[in-house]
Amino acid sequence: MTIKTRICMLSDTHTSTPHPATSTSTPYRHPLPAADILLHAGDLTKVGYLTEHETTLSVLASATAELKLVIAGNHDITLDAEHFLSTGYRRHQRPERLGTERILHTDDNLQTELRNTTKPDKTALSSYAASIRDLWTSDGARKAGIIYLDEGVHSFTLSTGAKFTVYASAYTPEFYNWAFAYPRSQDRFNPGPQAVNPVPDYPGVAIMLTHGPPLGILDFVPPDLNVGCGHLLRAVRRARPRVHLFGHIHEGWGARRGVWDGDGEEGVRLEEVGTDEKEVLERRGAFVDVSAESERPLRVGEETLFVNASIMDVGYQARNAPWVVDLELPVA
């Protein structure tokens, strides 16, 4: 037995708040589409300042959804405490250029101290990073339905009875010394000595929530690069979840229906999920129905809906729409 469930999907908001409801130029505006579940695939901030996290938490708290699941991304450097203490803090010592903007906040005394020393107090850095994690795992966040996910498998049950498992991971192949990075040669997603939290085989997870894309799927960077992770692709092929949500590659915004029939490259045949620009703008989201009531329900175990929900475009402008997906989930 299953139940139709609506999921609102976001990624790479980078502290950008939805535009006013009266805006006519972008679908990313107040209020976010209501859903049973909201998923955020990381890059909550531009460079991990406390004030940025507070802003994004406020946006998610105001969204209409019973459950809001959140992972970090490579820009959320203070949620990767080990990285922040070793080298990440240097991004808070100088302006960081993202798009046309130069980011250099002073949101408490820590930044003032960082900019006046070459040897920062590691205890202060650790305390600062801990305060940000505490923000996302606080009672206030929980009361707003927000749950911060570390890498691994997590299970949830909604008030509707829908029960599902999520595989979550903030990690992406190393890129310019940002957070949550691993060497591209490392296979952290499939069983073996390099994987601390491997992805389970089918039917272990219904939803995969990763910051980065699998290789060859909504990961194209001009002029001629696919920058997703090949190991992640192999893991998705084993897991065959109903949905795989990611972001990271702003240019890759979109959705593909992946058919696991062996005819396509790497065993998956990709079909573009079309959108109507006018409808997306009016409804404040790109809506896709693959539920049992749709014209073409998702075939569980045979198909995966891949979604890159990066709100920011490549110039760090919040011009892309959230994705809103209706699908079936098992009833507890």
- Four-residue CA torsion sign, 279, 283, 284, 289: negative
Report the pLDDT value the prediction gives residue 116, as an integer from 0 to 100: 82
Report the pLDDT value the prediction gives residue 24, as an integer from 0 to 100: 87
Mean pLDDT, rounded, for 23-47: 97
**Tens digits of per-residue pLDDT, 211-263?**
999 999 999 999 999 999 999 999 999 999 999 999 999 999 999 999 998 76
The residue extents of the domains of the chain are 2-330
Q: What is the pLDDT confidence band of residue 115, given thresholds at 50, 70 and 90?
A: confident
From CA 12, how far away is CA 237, in angstroms rounded? 25
For residues 13 and 312, the answer to whether their CB atoms sit within 8 Å is yes
**Phi, psi of 185, deg, nearest 5:** -75, -15
**DSSP string of 108-129?**
SHHHHHHTT-SS--HHHHHHHH
CA atoms within 13 A on the CB side of 303: 14
**Phi, psi of 62, deg, nearest 5:** -85, -10
Cis peptide before 31 (omega within 30 of 0): yes
Lowest mean pLDDT among 77-81, 106-110, 206-210, 303-307: 106-110
Q: What is the mean pLDDT of the chain?
A: 95
Report the pLDDT value the prediction gives residue 2, as an integer from 0 to 100: 97
- Token readout for 83 is 């990285």
- Token readout for 231 is 């190991």
Ramachandran bin of 15, using left for φ above 0, alpha for ψ from -120 to 50, beta for the remaining angles: left
Length reported for the chain: 332
Structurally, what CATH architecture does the domain formed by 2-330 represent? 4-Layer Sandwich (3.60)
From CA 127, how far away is CA 261, in angstroms rounded? 50
DSSP state of 20: P
Cis peptide before 223 (omega within 30 of 0): yes
**Tens digits of per-residue pLDDT, 262-316?**
766 678 999 999 999 999 999 999 999 999 999 999 999 999 999 999 999 999 9
**DSSP string of 64-98?**
--SEEEE---TT-GGGSHHHHHHTGGGGGTS-EEE
- Token readout for 202 is 């089918």
Q: What is the β-pairing status of strands 163-169 and 207-210?
A: parallel
Lowest mean pLDDT among 38-47, 121-130, 199-208, 321-330: 121-130
Report the pLDDT value the prediction gives residue 263, as an integer from 0 to 100: 66
Determine the residue type at 289: D
